[in-house]
Amino acid sequence: MRAQPKASHFIDGDYVEDTDGTVIESIYPATGEVIAKLHAATPAIVEKAIASAKRAQKEWASWSPMARGRVLKKAADIMRERNRALSELETLDTGKPIQETIVADPTSGADSFEFFGGIAPTALNGSQIPLGGDWAYTKRVPLGVVVGIGAWNYPQQIACWKGAPALAAGNAMVFKPSEVTPLGALKIAEILIEAGLPKGAYNVIQGDRDTGPLLVSHPDVAKVSLTGSVPTGRKVAGAAAGLLKHVTMELGGKSPLIVFDDADVESAISGAMLANFYSTGQVCSNGTRVFVHKGIKGQFLTRLKERTEAILIGDPQDETTQMGPLVSWAQREKVLGYIAKGKAEGATLVTGGGIPNNVSGEGYFVQPTVFADVTDEMTIAREEIFGPVMCVLDFDDEAEVIARANASEFGLAGGVFTADITRAHRVVDELEAGTLWINTYNLCPVEIPFGGSKQSGFGRENSAAALEHYTELKTVYVGMGKCEAPY
Ligand code: NAD
Give the mutation target among 112, 162, 178, 245 for probing the ligand 1 site: most ligand atoms within 8 A of CB. Answer: 178
Tens of pLDDT, residue by residue, the chain (487 residues): 899 999 999 999 999 999 999 999 999 999 999 999 999 999 999 999 999 999 999 999 999 999 999 999 999 999 999 999 999 999 999 999 999 999 999 999 999 999 999 999 999 999 999 999 999 999 999 999 999 999 999 999 999 999 999 999 999 999 999 999 999 999 999 999 999 999 999 999 999 999 999 999 999 999 999 999 999 999 999 999 999 999 999 999 999 999 999 999 999 999 999 999 999 999 999 999 999 999 999 999 999 999 999 999 999 999 999 999 999 999 999 999 999 999 999 999 999 999 998 887 789 999 999 999 999 999 999 999 999 999 999 999 999 999 999 999 999 999 999 999 999 999 999 999 999 999 999 999 999 999 999 999 999 999 999 999 999 999 999 999 999 999 9
Q: From ligand 1's centre to the CA of 452, what distance in Å?
A: 14
Task: State if residue 234 touches ligand 1 by the CB under 6 angstroms criterion.
Answer: no
Is ligand 1 within 6 A of the CB of residue 238? Answer: no
* CB 71 near ligand 1, within 6 Å: no
The predicted pLDDT at position 213 comes to: 97
Residue closest by Cα to atom 15 of ligand 1: 209
Q: If you measure from the C-alpha of residue 180 to the centroid of ligand 1, how many angstroms do you get, rounded to a whole number?
A: 11
Angle among Cα 224, 119, 462 to the nearest 5 degrees reads 40
Q: Which helix or strand (DSSP H or E) is residue 334 part of?
A: helix 329-344
**CA 56/CA 266 separation, integer angstroms:** 52
Return the residue whose CA atom lies nearest to atom 13 of ligand 1.
Answer: 209
Catalytic residue among 284, 297, 391, 454: 284
User: Active site residue: 96, 162, 223, 254, which one?
Assistant: 162
Radius of gyration of the chain measured on its C-alpha atoms: 24
- Could you tell me which of 474, 380, 463, 457 has the C-alpha nearest to residue 226? 457
Nearest ligand 1 atom, CA 229: 32
In our burial notation (b when 16+ CB lie closer than 10 A, e otherwise), range 263-282 reads: bebeebbebbbbbbbbbbbb
Taking phi first (over 0 means left), then psi (-120 to 50 degrees means alpha), and beta for anything else, what does residue 429 get?
A: alpha
| Distant-in-sequence, close-in-space partners of 429: CB < 8 Å, separation ≥ 6 | none
Q: Is the pTM higher than 0.95? A: yes
Told to judge if 250 belongs to the known catalytic residues of this protein, a careful annotator would answer yes
| Per-residue model confidence (pLDDT) at position 359 | 85
- 408 CA distance to ligand 1 middle (Å): 20
Binding site membership of 209 for ligand 1 (Cβ less than 6 Å) = yes
Q: Is the CB of 251 under 6 A from ligand 1?
A: yes
CA angle, residues 371, 375, 378, in degrees to nearest 5: 85
- The Cα-based distances of 220 to 3, 137, 243 in angstroms read 33, 27, 11
Q: Is there an atom of ligand 1 within 6 Å of 236 CB?
A: yes
Can you list the pairs that 373-380 forms with residues at least 24 positions away whose Cβ atoms lie under 8 Å? 373/346, 373/347, 373/348, 374/289, 374/342, 374/347, 375/347, 376/404, 376/407, 378/341, 378/342, 378/345, 378/346, 378/347, 379/338, 379/341, 379/342, 379/345, 380/338, 380/341, 380/342, 380/345, 380/347
**Atom 42 of ligand 1, residue of closest alpha carbon:** 284
Selecting among 250, 384, 391, 444, the annotated active-site residue is 250
Backbone angles phi, psi at 432, to 5 degrees: -90, 90
Based on the residue annotation, tell me whether 284 is a catalytic residue of this protein.
Answer: yes
Gap between the Cα atoms of 13 and 148, Å rounded: 18
Residues 6 or more apart from 435 whose CB is under 8 A from it?
Answer: 285, 412, 413, 414, 444, 448, 449, 450, 451, 452
Say yes or no: CB of residue 250 within 6 Å of ligand 1: yes
Cα of 453 vs centre of ligand 1, distance in Å, is 17
* Ligand 1 contacts CB of residue 80 (under 6 A): no
Question: Residue 292 Cα, ligand 1 centroid: separation in angstroms?
Answer: 31
C-alpha distances in Å from residue 271, one per residue of 94, 268, 355, 437: 23, 5, 24, 10
Helix, strand, or coil here: 113? helix
242's CB contacts (< 8 A; 6+ apart) are none
Angstrom distance (rounded) from CA 190 to CA 214: 24
| Angstrom distance (rounded) from CA 241 to CA 54 | 21
Distance CA 20, CA 250 (A): 31
How far is the C-alpha of 205 from the C-alpha of 278, rounded, in Å?
28
Question: Looking at ligand 1, which atom is closest to the CA of residue 154?
Answer: 43
The number of the ligand 1 atom at minimal distance from the alpha carbon of 249 is: 41
Residue 87 and residue 78: Cα distance in Å, rounded? 13
- pLDDT reported for residue 358: 82
CA distances in angstroms from 230 to 242, 326, 410, listed in the order given: 18, 20, 9
What is the CA angle 260-266-271, rounded to 5? 75
Mutation to probe ligand 1, out of 94, 218, 229, 280 (largest number of atoms < 8 A from CB): 229
* Chain length of the chain: 487
What does the pLDDT look like over 278-301, one tens digit per residue?
999 999 999 999 999 999 999 999
114 vs 170: CA distance, rounded Å? 16
